[in-house]
Structure 1
Amino acid sequence: MKRRTFLASSAAMAGIAATGAPAFAQDDPLKIGFIYVGPVGDMGWSYQHDQGRQAIEAEYGDKIQTKFIESVPEGPDAERALTSLALEGHELIFATSFGYMDSVINVAAKFPNVKFEHCTGYKRAENVGTYDARFYQGRAIQGTIAGRMTKSNKIGYIGSFPIPEVIQGINAAYIHAKKVNPDVQISVVWAYTWFDPAKEADAAAALIADGVDVILQHTDSTAPQAKAQEAGNVITFGQASDMSNFAPKPRVSSTIDNWAPYYKGRVAAALEGSWKADATWGGIDSGMVKIGEITDAVPAEVKQEAEALIEAIRSGSYHPFTGPLKKQDGSDWLAEGEVADDATLAGLNFYVEGISAEIPG
Structure 2
Amino acid sequence: MRRLLIPAAALALLAACSTNTGATPAAAEGSAPGAGSTKIGFIFVGPKDDYGYNQAAYQGSQAVAKAYPGLEVLTAENVPEDDNATRIMEGMIRKGAKIIFATSYGHKDPALKVAAAHPDVVVVQQGNIVDGTMPANFGTYFGTVYEPVYLAGIVAGKTTKTGKLGYVYAFPISQTLDNINAFELGAKSVNPQAKTYVVNTSNWCDPAKQAEAAKSLLAQGVDVISQHQDCTATVIRATEAAGAYSVGYHADASALAPKGWLTGSQWNWDPLYVKIVKTALDGRFSGSEFNANYRVGYKTGDNPFVQSPYGPAVGAETKALVDAAKARIGKDGSPFLGPVADQSGQVRIAAGTVPDYKTIEAIDYFVDGVVGKIPAS
Contact 1:13 1:22 (C-alpha < 8 Å) held by counterparts: no
What does residue 52 of structure 1 align with? 60
* Mapped partners of 2:212, 2:249: distance in 1: 17
For residues 311-357 of structure 1, the C-alpha deviation after alignment (integer angstroms, 9 at most, x for no partner) is: 333x3243111011122232222222111122221221111223342
For residues 245-284 of structure 1, the C-alpha deviation after alignment (integer angstroms, 9 at most, x for no partner) is: 1354322112111111111111111211111323211224
Contact 1:30 1:271 (C-alpha < 8 Å) held by counterparts: no
1:32 maps onto 2:32 in alignment? no
Deviation at 1:178, TM superposition (A): 1.4
Contact 1:15 1:23 (C-alpha < 8 Å) held by counterparts: no
Deviation at 1:227, TM superposition (A): 0.3
* Mapped partners of 1:22, 1:185: distance in 2: 48
Percent sequence identity is 35
For residues 35-82 of structure 1, the C-alpha deviation after alignment (integer angstroms, 9 at most, x for no partner) is: 1011111121111111111111111111x1101101112123222222
* Mapped partners of 2:76, 2:307: distance in 1: 28
Which range moves more in the overlay, 241-250 or 118-127? 241-250
Contact 1:148 1:180 (C-alpha < 8 Å) held by counterparts: yes
- For residues 1-361 of structure 1, the aligned pairs below 5 Å read 1-2=16-17, 12=27, 14-17=29-32, 21=33, 23-24=35-36, 30-62=38-70, 64-123=71-130, 124-221=134-231, 222-232=233-243, 234-276=244-286, 277-284=291-298, 285-313=301-329, 315-361=330-376
TM-score, normalised on structure 2?
0.87
Aligned to 2:97, the other structure's residue is in SS state coil
* Mapped partners of 2:358, 2:333: distance in 1: 18
Contact 2:143 2:303 (C-alpha < 8 Å) held by counterparts: no
Greater per-residue helix proportion: 1
Aligned to 2:225, the other structure's residue is in SS state strand
Classify 1:153/1:248 alpha carbon distance in 2 versus 1 (closer, same or farther; 3 Å): same
* Mapped partners of 1:199, 1:56: distance in 2: 34
* Mapped partners of 2:235, 2:25: distance in 1: 51
* Mapped partners of 2:306, 2:94: distance in 1: 36
* Mapped partners of 2:26, 2:200: distance in 1: 50
Aligned to 1:236, the other structure's residue is in SS state strand
Contact 2:199 2:372 (C-alpha < 8 Å) held by counterparts: no
Contact 1:105 1:128 (C-alpha < 8 Å) held by counterparts: yes
* Mapped partners of 1:220, 1:55: distance in 2: 20
* Mapped partners of 1:312, 1:56: distance in 2: 33
* Mapped partners of 2:360, 2:26: distance in 1: 43
Classify 1:138/1:80 alpha carbon distance in 2 versus 1 (closer, same or farther; 3 Å): same
Structure 2: where are the runs of 5+ without partners? 1-15
User: Aligned letter for 1:351?
Assistant: F
User: Aligned letter for 2:202?
Assistant: Y
Aligned to 2:139, the other structure's residue is in SS state strand
User: Aligned letter for 1:200?
Assistant: Q
Aligned to 2:360, the other structure's residue is in SS state helix
* Mapped partners of 2:59, 2:150: distance in 1: 25
User: Aligned letter for 1:336?
Assistant: A
**Runs of 4 or more above 6 Å deviation:** none
TM-score, normalised on structure 1?
0.90
Which range moves more in the overlay, 130-139 or 80-89? 80-89
* Mapped partners of 2:149, 2:17: distance in 1: 39
Classify 1:84/1:299 alpha carbon distance in 2 versus 1 (closer, same or farther; 3 Å): same
